[in-house]
Amino acid sequence: MRIALIGQAAFGEKVLEALLNAGEQVVVVYCPPDAPNGRKDPLGELAEKSGIPVRKPARMRNPEVFEEYKSFDPELNVMAFVTDIVPMTMINYPKQGTIQYHPSILPRHRGGSAINWAVINGETETGFTIFWPDEGLDTGPILLQKTVPIEPDDTLGTVYFNKLFPLGVEGMVEAVKLVKAGKAPKIPQDLSLGEYEPLCKKMEINWNYPINVVYNVIRGCNPSPGASTTFRGEPLKIFDCEKRKTDGGMKAPGTVLEVAEDGFLVAGVGGSIFVKRVQPQGGAKIKAAEFIAATGLKAGEKLG
């Protein structure tokens, strides 16, 4: 079966690798253009090394993209981490259609920040869906779904890289095999059971919320986009941290209770947060110890 793979980054690269290892025929790869510094997308690099034609259009919707796409005569489109809008003319062109990966159990958490919101909401389970895209946003019929647990200390990063990434690569290969065998289901989504969510671009920490809520916001934004607070009036993002039972007593939420060699403890409601990695405004992510040394942070100061 002739496959057109549309995707990017490490996930797209690993899906291509897995499809080739499974003996599938990938006839063309679409990925983003090279970065201004010349850095190439990993998916495109692997395709070039494998002798597969690579196309890097600025916009998949450009008419000339579709005209050339037809010359590859694909029987199935496989979409692995796609952020551009692929036109319906391309989605509907192959005789076997198009399948797409999404990191949630649809119809829950439609949108580009599906894992963020699952962790921020304190959910204990998520998963991935491979579906048949249609005119809507993550609304097409379901082909395959698998669930994974969200552990109490999981972050966006651990859920994706340790669970949804490797299982999703395997799932894409499984889905392609089902399509080839004529056994791929098309189960309509009940959209009343979920909604489209906005991108998680900025999340402010409210230290007056219960400590579990604060902790979920931080871990749901780690490693991106980072949970925001302020220190001495300047923005500060918090990443790696631990939730602790230490009570701040009469200290206001957000107050620094203790400064240690490897981080600092911040009072919350019903517990505290031990901060281990931060990002000051305009700077890189650094260990909390570096931040303490640079700022002279002391117990009694306040965040937020």
* Domains of the chain from N-terminus onward: 2-193 (3.40.50.170), 203-295 (3.10.25.10)
The H-assigned helical ranges of the chain are: 9-21, 42-49, 63-71, 88-91, 114-120, 156-159, 165-180, 211-220, 288-295
For residues 209 and 119, give the distance between their C-alpha atoms in angstroms, rounded to a whole number: 16
Residue pointed to by tokens 């050339």: 68
Going by C-alpha positions, the residue among 101, 59, 112, 109 that lies closest to residue 84 is 59
**pTM of the predicted protein model:** 0.95
- Per the prediction, the chain carries an average pLDDT of 97
pLDDT tens digit sequence for 134-182: 999 999 999 999 999 999 999 999 999 999 999 999 999 999 999 999 9
* pLDDT class of 301 with cuts at 50, 70, 90: very high
